[in-house]
Amino acid sequence: MNMSGEEIHIDFNHLVTRYLSGELSPQELTGFQEELRKDPGKQALLDEYRKIWDSVGAVPARERYDLEVEWALMQEKLPGFDTESGDEKAGRSAGRSLLYYSYRIAAVLVVGVMLTFAWIYVTRMAGMEKVMAKNEPVEVILEDGTKVIVNRHSRLRYRQKFDQQERKVYLSGEAWFDVTRDTTMPFVIDAGAALVEVLGTSFNVNAYKENPTVEITVESGMVAMSAKQDQKDLIVMKAGSGGTYNKLQRELKLIPSSDPNNISWKTRELYFEGSTLQEVADLLNRVYDVNIVIMNQELASCPITVTFRDQTIEAILNVLEITLDLQVTRTGDEIRVDGERCVE
């Protein structure tokens, strides 16, 4: 009869329990050792269980409890157990021993899982640098000379020294990269739902958690992007193009001509051609970290064509105020824009 993977796993844990407690018969012990010899993974797992088992049970002999006394105390505390007569207890002695060790191996497994997660966390965080940009972009130069500008409300994590196989960083939010070229060691960005890989180029990554997409804008060179959970499919973007990954639909999309305003937060260059006032306000909010509110919604669709290069928000608002005959006032953290409907 074939056994399922779950049954095999349970059976192995049962053998581990009996092996660690010294209850395997000589024949069972021989079979168990042969199984370990054939499967290095099981041997490694047993070694980890043994360490935890020893630490759990590592108390001086004089302090060890009698097994029957331990069981009696445990039985009183566990729900669903009724007291039994002496004959019944004698008949269930072997079962108690097995159950006792089952509880112990369960504790071993729980502790093992906790240690595993702790090891992963410590390993991932060891030697890591964290950059958190709050109200202003932050510039970082990595070990290989790569330049990164981290946008507001974004976070970048990276190793002080890259490993020998890849240069990997972790991004939450938005950042612009100018990657030092190295054909022997790819530069990889873990952007949450997507992975971005380059050899040497400049590009922008927008990967805020609240956004439905991860968006790439390429300035120079070539960039490849794939879904983190399924890396078989990918898109390759060249200078002047871009791409997106839709997190919900799990869809990659190549954009032949990228919007230059995608990197306006870094360049402070904004291009509007027939854009609506609402579109202008939305971009200004993102680039300058302000809160522009259009009071008269009839103004929201007013078109405007204008270019701004490294202008202050005050200078831009003055241009909009004069061009569209607006009234701009500041109330607390809001910049309120009001006026009559625009002329068709």
Do 106 and 57 reside in the same domain of the chain?
Answer: yes
The answer to whether residue 217 is domain-embedded is yes
Q: Which is more confidently placed, 15 or 255?
A: 255
Lowest mean pLDDT among 23-27, 198-202, 230-234: 23-27
CA-nearest of 268, 269, 156 to 205 is 156
Domain end residue (candidates: 244, 261, 278): 261
Q: Name the amino acid, one letter, at 192.
A: G
- Are 225 and 217 in contact, with CB atoms under 8 Å apart? no
Same domain, 318 and 214: no
Whether 147 and 238 map to the same domain: the answer is: yes
Q: Domain residues for 303? A: 268-338
Domain shared by 318 and 295, yes or no? yes
In this model, does residue 311 exceed pLDDT 70? yes
Q: How far apart are CA 251 and CA 217, in angstroms?
A: 17
Residue 198 lies in a domain: yes
- Let me know whether 209 and 104 are in one domain: no
User: 115-163: per-residue pLDDT in tens?
Assistant: 555 444 444 545 688 999 998 999 999 999 999 999 999 999 998 888 8
**Tokens 């112990």 map to which residue?**
104
Q: Are residues 228 and 241 in the same domain?
A: yes
166 plus 145 within the same structural domain:
yes
Answer yes or no: do 12 and 68 share one domain: yes
pLDDT over 70 for what percent of the chain? 72
343 part of a folded domain:
no
Instruction: Give the H or E element holding residue 308.
Output: strand 303-309
CA distances from 214 to 4, 195, 198, 268, 304 (A): 40, 10, 16, 22, 28
| pTM beyond 0.85 | no
Share of the chain above pLDDT 90, in %: 49
d(CA 62, CA 336): 78
pLDDT of residue 36: 85
pLDDT band at 236 (very low <50, low <70, confident <90, very high): very high
The answer to the question of residue 232 being in a domain is yes
Question: Does residue 28 form part of some domain?
Answer: yes
99 shares its domain with 157: no
Picking from 97, 124, 151, the residue at the C-terminal end of a domain is: 124
Alpha carbon separation from 16 to 6, 11, 19, 21, 43 (Å, rounded): 15, 9, 5, 8, 10
Nearest partner of 30 among 50, 15, 11, judged by Cα: 15
Residue 325's CATH number: 3.55.50.30
Which of 22 and 59 is assigned the larger pLDDT? 22
Question: Could you write out the DSSP letters of every residue in 247-283?
Answer: TTTTEEEEESS--GGGGHHHH-EEEEEEEEHHHHHHH
- Rounded Cα distance, 183 and 51, in Å: 43
- Per-residue DSSP letters for 162-216? --SS-EEEEEEEEEEEEPPP-TTS-EEEE-SSEEEEESS-EEEEEE-TTSSEEEE
Cα 71-77-81 angle, rounded to 5 deg: 75
Number of domains into which the chain is organized:
3
Q: Are 18 and 107 members of one domain?
A: yes
CATH number, domain of 228, equals: 2.60.120.1440
- Given a cut of 60, whether residue 191 has pLDDT beyond it is yes
Q: Which residues pair with 148 in a beta bridge?
A: 140, 177
Is residue 228 located within the same domain as residue 319?
Answer: no
Phi, psi of 211, deg, nearest 5: -80, 145
Average pLDDT, the chain: 79
82-128 pLDDT, tens digit each: 445 555 555 555 555 555 555 555 555 555 555 555 444 444 545 68
Q: What is the pLDDT of residues 266-295, one digit of tens each?
A: 999 999 999 999 999 999 999 999 999 999
**Tokens 């992975």 identify what position?**
195
Question: Which residues are CB-neighbours of 330 under 8 A, at least 6 positions away?
Answer: 336
User: Mean pLDDT throughout 53-68?
Assistant: 46
Structural domain includes residue 93: yes
138 forms bridges with which residues in the sheet?
A: 150
Among 209, 177, 175, 179, smallest CA distance to 192 is for 209
Name the β-bridge partners of 238.
Answer: 222
The answer to whether residue 224 is domain-embedded is yes
| Model pLDDT, residue 319 | 93
Cα distance between residue 213 and residue 114, in whole Å: 33
Asked whether residue 344 is domain-assigned, the answer is: no
Of 261, 290, 324, at which residue does a domain stop? 261
Same-domain check for residues 52 and 104: yes
